[in-house]
Structure 1
Amino acid sequence: MNLLFVSDLDFTILYKEIAGLFKKKLDYKCDALIGGRLFYERYKNDISFRKTWYFQEICGENEKILSDMSWEKVLEEIEVYENKYGRPTLLSAALSDRTYCNLPRQDRARRVIGTYKRIESFLDENKPDFVISSGFEALPHFIFSDVCQYRKIPVFYFLCTRILNLHSSMYNQYEESSSHGINLNLEPSNESLIKAENYIEAYIKKQHKPLLEQLLPYDNYKIGFNKIYNFFRYLYRYYVTKTYANDHAYLSPIKKINFEIKNRIKRFSHKYLNYSNLPDDLENWYYFPLHVQPEYTTLIAGINAQDQIGTIISLSNSISLGEGIVVKEHPGMLGRRSKLYYKKIMALPNVRLVKPSTSTFELIRKSKGLITINGTAGMEAALIGKPVITIGNAVFNNYYNILKLKDIPRRKWAENIRSYTRGFKFNKTKLIKYVAQVFSQCNSFDFVEPQNSDAVIEKENILKIFNHINNEIKKSISDKNYGLQIIENKSYI
């Protein structure tokens, strides 16, 4: 069995340990595409891997791809590749990357087609049986998944259920799958039903963030010794060793300082925004949490809700005259949006922007319902029996009692929202069954960037992740169709 780890940055720290277990326990051959010069240089000769490649070099990230090809020829290639990979548009590939999506049209097109060609060539030479990815949040990763799907190679990623730290499996780029993930036709065990009921009872009494989110840091603005040390290390790696010098993911130190100063000024200015108070009749208002942006969750999994203000306008025009929408900023976005952005939200007649410090759980409990693109708050609201409306692809979309607007034209949002909320009835038995299915079919472990949490690279956690991947490989060996997906364009309605 030939395994290929497509590993971005510090995920290499985790994946080299898992590859080592596959080599030791099962004698599998493990190769790695490593993203990030620093991690490639550190792990390119690690004994866990048979072969390693520098991902940016394979994709020609630092080259002008197809620069010698005429634009007329590029247009022909676009048509060929859009037909080949079954998409009405390959713009979704460009949108997967927060850097390349902003390139001029011709440069963006050349980059996308050129990357498809390079990854095809790589897979022509190296034919893995099973691919483990660290995500699809960048152009090379997104395209790698497309090419693997086209060639019938299972490309696997961990799908977080948003319940505790339980994970399922995903074989496409959209956080949804009709044939993998949670199988709602499988009856959960009695043990899982009891466990689910106890969990829901405890959660209704006291809500909490998913364990995964608790591992993520939102204090990046604090200045201390570590920040100062990291900055000087950044200077050294950029100017002396040149590790970061030719990597688009790393700004020049001058641009980075400018970026950090601007963000801190904007973050400080948030304190003086004229935030609204919570409405007295919060039970007549929907809660809409803003999402991190630009980010994969909005650019790709968010379907056509990239413009969050435009989406809020569509929603505000789709609810009753006596209703409203409460909007709250994401903690990870403080300092990253302009005042003008918030003022546009504040100007909407039936929308209120409340302080970022407002309790999310209070808003969920007391509001009429929750509307989200695909945020974790959707699962949090479902767990306490509130109406949940989603706009994009979300892992919990298959839960029985959620209104999915992604399948509905915006002109019909109003009638569907009204019908859903008026007819909504919380069925605790069905909720227990769904959560029990999650408990029965998923595995518990921590999976975030290892540099954000030491818990990820603890031996016990590594073994759990290894077992999860190994079970998926066993399924693909016994069923040659397992993990294989037809490429779909789910980025737009």
Structure 2
Amino acid sequence: MPDKILFWLDAHLLYYCLSYYMQKKHPADYYAIIDIPDRSKNFFEQQKFVNFKKTWFYHDNITKKDQIDIRYLESFEEKYSINLWKFAINERLFYKYNQFHKFSKNEILSILEQECKLFENILHEVNPNYVIMQDAGLHHGNLFSEICKKNGIRVIIINISKFGGGCYLSEKIHTIDNLDTLDKINPRGRNIEELQKLLNKSSLSTSLMNYTNETRKSKLALIRAAFQMLFVSDNQNIKTHYSYYGRTKLHVLSNEIFSILKTKIRGNFIDKSCIQKIEDEKFVYLPLHQEPERSLLLDAPFYTNQIETTRNIAKSIPIGYVLYVKEHPTQGKSRGWRPITEYKEIMEMPNVKMIHPSVSSTELIKKSALVISIGGTASLEAAFYEKPSIMFANLGYAILPSIFKINSFDNLSNTISQALKTKINPIDLDKYVTALEDASFDFDWLGFIRKCHKRFYYDGNLVDVEIDPLNMEQFLNEEGSTLEKLADIHIQNLTTNHND
């Protein structure tokens, strides 16, 4: 029996390109769930590059309907032990962050019901051996991944390594498969200075910052994207895709103009009000997450209120310490900064100082006594500078003894006291780095996505585009060497898992 491989394809296009080269190298039955805007649909309907046995367009199966089968949703939750409201409330489109449409309870339940039935039907029909997909940034991809795992189906995602510039495959975000302890890992004898050099050579934080700065940089591409959106697109998405509800051309244009002004005003406030010098004092360092973002909404679903988290930490630190809170440096370009009222609320806390986003995170880690991160890279980077850390998300690098995982605010004060007394053992860090190096391979994920942005999406300014098959063919050929290697790594992963 050939393998049955189900791909989740989206506008990033990486997994479509990967499926093309995997099919050339690995005979199997290939299927795809396709989650793309309306204007790209024609390409996927007509394409001949990948011979999918069957495809499903996600948004074709989610329509507006009034009647809710609440009994089905209740039985679904019981069957899979999945809390659906956790997914819904933390979906950036459904609640808090959507500036174009306010979803009603019935609309949300209707979407959940239809997608749950769709996912169950697909898995029942295909019964795949493997699901290959991106780590989901929105609720529906994450929900599908969870259903697959509950059914014993192996999910394979590409993780960007936290340093070194490579990637690795695993079932769970930022978690090395089958790494439950560091006891059996043989370290490579590197001291802390050597490990720091490795981090500084290529850290994920730096790569993400560069990626954000380079994306949507071209003014010409922005003008071309605006022309396409305003004068070429028929904007069918507002009727067919719930993610586009309320996004009329006028509303999008006015929102973009308002966002530019809002970002400027908020940026001026940050420049005038935030501290740009690290004082000679004892402090705990808390970097804020970009918001909204999957590392906050999906990885730490019960700690999404960063102001409240800041307040709880401020209540829990020892009397001789100050809490340094730093805004995420990409929050401005990506999200237009936060409302000024939120910054003021943080600044009003008597033992908290708001640090300017331009201040070096590395220097803050070096001079801090403790690093606290909801689910970001700072907790891991702290270990490289012999600093203990606390983390709220359940991510793989919490396996390090110097990283304390918090499950409740109730024990935060005691955990902070314990962490402040903790000494870092470089051998543990060397072991984790060794395990990560052994699992990793050379692939520039962010660089590949940037190429897709430039080639197909007007430098990342517009994703609702028509995809030219000839352009795709040229792109597949140009990136052939990279994609063949990536396909080989996935096939090896399938084979190893199958043999196990």
- TM-score class, shorter-chain normalisation, is 0.7 to 0.9
- 2:387: which partner in 1? 386
Distance in 2 between the 1:206 and 1:286 partners? Answer: 26
CA distance 1:296–1:205, change in 2 (3 Å):
closer
Match of 2:259 among 213, 238, 263: 263
Q: CA RMSD in A?
A: 2.9
CA distance 1:214–1:315, change in 2 (3 Å):
closer
Offset at residue 120 of structure 1 (A): 1.0
1:471-482 equivalences under 5 Å are 471-479=492-500
- 2:222: which partner in 1? 227
Match of 2:269 among 260, 268, 272: 272
Structure 2 counterpart SS, 1:356: coil
- 1:366: which partner in 2? 367
Offset at residue 228 of structure 1 (A): 0.9
Offset at residue 49 of structure 1 (A): 3.0
Q: Is contact 1:96-1:136 (8 Å) kept?
A: no
Distance in 2 between the 1:18 and 1:137 partners? Answer: 19
Q: Is contact 1:383-1:431 (8 Å) kept?
A: yes
Check if 1:463 corresponds to 2:484: yes
Distance in 1 between the 2:239 and 2:67 partners? Answer: 25
Q: Is contact 2:347-2:353 (8 Å) kept?
A: yes
Structure 2 counterpart SS, 1:159: strand
Structure 1 counterpart SS, 2:257: helix
Distance in 2 between the 1:353 and 1:55 partners? Answer: 45
1:343-492 equivalences under 5 Å are 343-405=344-406, 407=407, 409-422=408-421, 424-448=422-446, 450-453=448-451, 458-479=479-500
Q: Is contact 1:215-1:448 (8 Å) kept?
A: no
Distance in 2 between the 1:204 and 1:477 partners? Answer: 34
Q: Is contact 1:329-1:356 (8 Å) kept?
A: yes
- 1:489: which partner in 2? none
CA distance 1:150–1:129, change in 2 (3 Å):
same
Q: Is contact 1:186-1:437 (8 Å) kept?
A: no
Q: Which amino acid aligns with 1:415?
A: N
CA distance 1:114–1:50, change in 2 (3 Å):
closer
CA distance 1:231–1:282, change in 2 (3 Å):
farther
Distance in 2 between the 1:388 and 1:419 partners? Answer: 10
CA distance 1:146–1:411, change in 2 (3 Å):
closer
CA distance 1:171–1:325, change in 2 (3 Å):
same
Check if 1:4 corresponds to 2:2: no
Check if 1:81 corresponds to 2:76: yes
Distance in 2 between the 1:235 and 1:147 partners? Answer: 39
The answer to which of 431-440 and 246-255 deviates more is 246-255
Distance in 1 between the 2:291 and 2:26 partners? Answer: 41
Structure 2 counterpart SS, 1:403: strand
Offset at residue 202 of structure 1 (A): 1.7
Q: Is contact 2:161-2:204 (8 Å) kept?
A: no
Distance in 2 between the 1:28 and 1:463 partners? Answer: 16
Distance in 1 between the 2:200 and 2:143 partners? Answer: 44
Q: Which amino acid aligns with 1:474?
A: T
Q: Is contact 1:215-1:452 (8 Å) kept?
A: no
CA distance 1:136–1:290, change in 2 (3 Å):
same
Name the TM-score, length of structure 1 as normaliser. Answer: 0.84
Offset at residue 254 of structure 1 (A): 1.7
Match of 1:252 among 248, 251, 271: 248
Q: Which amino acid aligns with 2:93?
A: T
Q: Structure 2: where are the runs of 5+ without partners?
A: 97-102, 454-474
Offset at residue 321 of structure 1 (A): 1.5
CA distance 1:207–1:239, change in 2 (3 Å):
closer
Structure 2 counterpart SS, 1:100: coil
CA distance 1:336–1:198, change in 2 (3 Å):
closer
Give CA deviations for 1:194-235 in whole Å, capped at 9, x if unaligned.
689785152477785557525522366767211111111222
Q: Which amino acid aligns with 1:238?
A: S
Give CA deviations for 1:105-161 in whole Å, capped at 9, x if unaligned.
333223213311121122222332211012222232122213222322212212333
Distance in 2 between the 1:449 and 1:126 partners? Answer: 33
Distance in 2 between the 1:223 and 1:466 partners? Answer: 32
CA distance 1:400–1:442, change in 2 (3 Å):
farther
Q: Which amino acid aligns with 1:340?
A: T
Check if 1:148 corresponds to 2:187: no
Give CA deviations for 1:411-438 in whole Å, capped at 9, x if unaligned.
221111012112x212122221221121
Distance in 2 between the 1:15 and 1:376 partners? Answer: 25
CA distance 1:452–1:54, change in 2 (3 Å):
farther
1:7-22 equivalences under 5 Å are 7-11=9-13, 14-22=14-22
CA distance 1:337–1:146, change in 2 (3 Å):
same
Q: Structure 1: where are the runs of 5+ without partners?
A: 480-493
Offset at residue 34 of structure 1 (A): 1.8
Structure 1 counterpart SS, 2:240: coil
- 1:160: which partner in 2? 160
- 1:171: which partner in 2? 171
- 1:41: which partner in 2? 42
1:197-208 equivalences under 5 Å are 199-203=194-198, 208=203
Check if 1:110 corresponds to 2:110: yes
Structure 1 counterpart SS, 2:113: helix
CA distance 1:49–1:237, change in 2 (3 Å):
farther
The answer to which of 25-34 and 347-356 deviates more is 25-34
- 1:238: which partner in 2? 233
Aligned sequence identity (%): 22
Structure 1 counterpart SS, 2:428: helix
Distance in 2 between the 1:399 and 1:348 partners? Answer: 31
Distance in 2 between the 1:322 and 1:447 partners? Answer: 43
Q: Is contact 1:305-1:373 (8 Å) kept?
A: yes
CA distance 1:55–1:135, change in 2 (3 Å):
farther
Give CA deviations for 1:160-207 in whole Å, capped at 9, x if unaligned.
3312223333324x6447x5367635434x7xx268978515247778
Q: Is contact 2:21-2:483 (8 Å) kept?
A: no
Offset at residue 39 of structure 1 (A): 3.5
Q: Is contact 1:148-1:155 (8 Å) kept?
A: yes
The answer to which of 149-158 and 302-311 deviates more is 149-158
Q: Is contact 2:8-2:134 (8 Å) kept?
A: yes
Q: Is contact 1:81-1:113 (8 Å) kept?
A: no
Distance in 1 between the 2:292 and 2:159 partners? Answer: 20
Offset at residue 390 of structure 1 (A): 0.8
Q: Which amino acid aligns with 1:159?
A: N
- 1:286: which partner in 2? 284
- 1:24: which partner in 2? 24
- 2:57: which partner in 1? 55
Q: Is contact 1:145-1:155 (8 Å) kept?
A: yes
Q: Which amino acid aligns with 1:226?
A: A
Distance in 2 between the 1:384 and 1:107 partners? Answer: 48
